[in-house]
Amino acid sequence: MTRTRKQAYLVGTALTVLSLAATTSAFAAGSSDPDQTGSSFGCSGLEEVSELQMIEGKDGMFFRILADLRLQHAFTEQTVDNLAAMAKALEKNGTTLIYVPLPTKSQVLPELVPARAALYGFDANIAAEIYDDVVRRLEAKGVAAVDIATPMRNNNRNQFGEYAFFQADFHWTAHGAGIAAKALADKIKTLPAYEDVKPVGFAMKEVKPEPEYSSMRELLQKHCVTHVPTVTAHAYEAVREEAAADAGSMDIFGGGDEATIALIGTSYSDKPISNFAGYLEHWTGVPVDNYSISGGNQFGSILSYITSREFQEQRPRFMIWENPIYNNLGQFGAAPWAEIIAASLGDCGTQIDAKPVDEKTVAGDLSSLKLGGDDVLLADIGSDVSRNVTFTFTGADGTVRTRSMERGDRLRATGRYFLSLGGIPADAFGKVSVSFDAPVGETTALSVCKTKTGEQS
């Protein structure tokens, strides 16, 4: 995860099919169309690789069958409503959310998808329409969403012959990230929050790319005779222009702090070789703090950032949340959304008198509070040292109910946990004890947070 300011720096059904045999003559010819002559790299058995089923397209472009070719993406109306509630809660405190559904390789490079992909149900027109539908539904609910698939599709190769995505990896190249960032910047500049922004100049400077490890390419190579394309491309960094960086010229809001963008995303936003954050700075003229996490899945980076003291104390002007379209934002139910919305709103003014029980536990009385399913209990150990917490509720009748929360190793340890009270019976709220995995202290606190923007503490 990168956390430095960048000033310096409908449904396809898979059919059981036989894989294409790579013939010696086809391999020698080096054809760019595996549908006609077999693999260009002597690859075989890719569709049966247990770790990651793949298919070879044209011009050395490889696609993941499950993630890149599927047409069904779990983006339900509940997910749209949750994002709308999040956007509304953030806006109440001066932050504008911009959601970026990241398209798959096949949605951007349909001309390189092999005809064989139709056996897995792939249809380029349906794939494009599904992506467009997600953006339309978000916009209809008041969420600023950006179509980056269309501009990436229309400009999917640069002057060096590099595509928007790496051939033997699923991530985007600097070219793809740059096109996406330009589309985002165009959208941001139309939003009310940008009206007072005086852009800062960021120039893109070419740099030597660091060696890029790719688990997908490594896996591919085990099933191919010759070397598949390496995961490298022209790379760039954003350099703040000296004239704009003068301290006297940084009064972007006429007397306030400099506007910032918080970039929340996945490995697509975290890779230096692609430098999505740098391109955002270049095209928006707004400094970016990159909080993206590789391997954090759909909620890792947003939960790490939005539950942090850093976010609560200094909210950004813009929050860009990038997520691949195939990520299911309903996978873990309502719990992560309760945390996200409560933390976005930050309306946690009802304090609970928390008394220490032992070295790692505090307890409080809830009996005088009128709590319901829309409320969230915030347990804050007071420092960034905790990754696990257990809430124990004891009702008036002595019934005990427990709820546990954990921040995995890839997430930031913020020490702040927002527990939804939804699904817990009202008679359970007698007393609560909260046990952390680290010592509590004088700054350990419990409070009740709201999730409805119209409510008052």
How far is Cα 342 from Cα 306, in angstroms, rounded to an integer? Answer: 10
Number of Cβ atoms within 10 Å of the Cβ of 190: 9
Say whether both 188 and 252 belong to one domain: yes
- Dihedral of CA atoms 253, 182, 328, 345 in degrees, nearest 10, equals 10
The answer as to whether 173 is a domain residue is yes
H or E segment at 235? strand 235-240
User: Quick check: 31 pLDDT over 70?
Assistant: no
pLDDT of residue 38: 81
- Rounded-to-integer distance, Cα 280 and Cα 188, Å: 10
CB 66 within 8 A of CB 89: no
* H or E stretch covering 356: strand 355-358
Q: Cα(24)–Cα(58) distance, rounded to whole angstroms?
A: 18
Q: Give the global pTM.
A: 0.88
In-domain check, residue 44: no
355 pLDDT above the threshold of 90: yes
Examine the fold and report which residue of 339, 365, 390 is the final residue of a domain before the chain moves on. Answer: 339
Considering the chain, what is the average pLDDT of its residues?
89
**What pLDDT does residue 42 have?**
97
Q: Between these two residues, 118 and 37, which has the higher pLDDT value?
A: 118
Kindly tell me if the per-residue pLDDT of 245 is higher than 60: no
- Tell me: do 334 and 403 sit in the same domain: no
Same domain, 220 and 177: yes
* 309: in domain: yes
Indicate whether 359 and 439 sit together in one domain.
yes
As a whole number, mean pLDDT of residues 218-244 equals 91
- Let me know whether 211 and 303 are in one domain: yes
Looking at residue 211, its pLDDT comes to 80
pLDDT of 244 higher than 70 = no
Answer yes or no: is 227 within a domain: yes
What pLDDT is attached to residue 128? Answer: 96
Pairing of strands 288-290, 261-264: parallel
Structural domain containing residue 334: 73-339
Convert the pLDDT of each residue in 286-336 to its tens digit. Answer: 999 999 999 999 999 999 999 999 999 999 999 999 999 999 999 999 999
Q: What percent of the chain has pLDDT over 90?
A: 84
Q: Are residues 293 and 385 in the same domain?
A: no
Residue 181 maps to a domain: yes
Both 379 and 315 in one domain: the answer is no
Which CATH number characterizes residue 435's domain?
Answer: 2.60.120.1380
- pLDDT for position 121: 94
**What mean pLDDT is predicted for residues 378-406?**
96
CA Rg value for the chain: 24
In this structure, the answer to whether residues 122 and 259 fall within a common structural domain is yes
Of the residues 298, 320, 339, the one at which a domain ends: 339
Q: Residue range 265-281: average pLDDT? A: 97
**Which is more confident, 21 or 238?**
238
Q: Specify whether 327 is located in the same domain as 376.
A: no
Whether 13 is in a domain gets the answer no
Of 312, 339, 366, which closes a domain? Answer: 339
Residues 295 and 393 in one domain: no
Q: Give alpha helix (H) positions in 189-243.
A: 215-221
- 19 pLDDT band, cuts 50/70/90, is very low
Residues 264 and 311 in one domain: yes
Tell me, yes or no, whether 40 lies in a domain.
Answer: no
Q: Which residue spans within 40-173 are E strands per DSSP? A: 54-56, 62-64, 96-102, 144-145
Query: What is the secondary structure of 191-202 as a DSSP string?
Result: SGGGTT--PPPE
pLDDT at 285: 97
Q: What SS3 class is residue 323?
A: strand
Residue 33's pLDDT is: 58
**Residue 38 in domain:** no
Split at pLDDT 50, 70, 90, the class of 391 is very high
60-105: per-residue pLDDT in tens?
Answer: 999 999 999 999 889 999 999 999 999 999 999 999 999 999 999 9
- What is the tally of structural domains in the chain? 2
Query: 399 and 303: one domain?
Result: no
pLDDT, residue 455, reads 47
